[in-house]
Amino acid sequence: MGVLKGVVLFFSDVVKQITIPCQLDFMWISSYSGTNSSEMCVRRDVSEDLKGRHVVILEDIFDTGNSLNFTYNHLLSKEPASLKICTLLD
């Protein structure tokens, strides 16, 4: 699961190395207009049901952690079997 839009190049490099069957998807989150960045909303959600599936979140930069925390909890509510995070830069 890639978090748009910054993850695109990192996502591309990572998926080239995957040798097992998998599905690729993206979601897009942003802060509400005119408010502080800790108030997040989903602009594009995942297109597949994640219940019982193993999911890896790919993110380009881990900065304050607000957006990644929001994304993690949002995807966790979809009841995946496991949920891991992979970031390019911390």
Catalytic residue selected from 25, 60, 63, 90: 63
Q: Is 90 a catalytic residue?
A: no
CA distance 6 to 71: 14
DSSP class of 21: -
CB neighbourhood size of 66 (10 A): 15
* Both structure tokens of 55: 């999911």
* Both structure tokens of 40: 């997040």
Catalytic site positions: 63
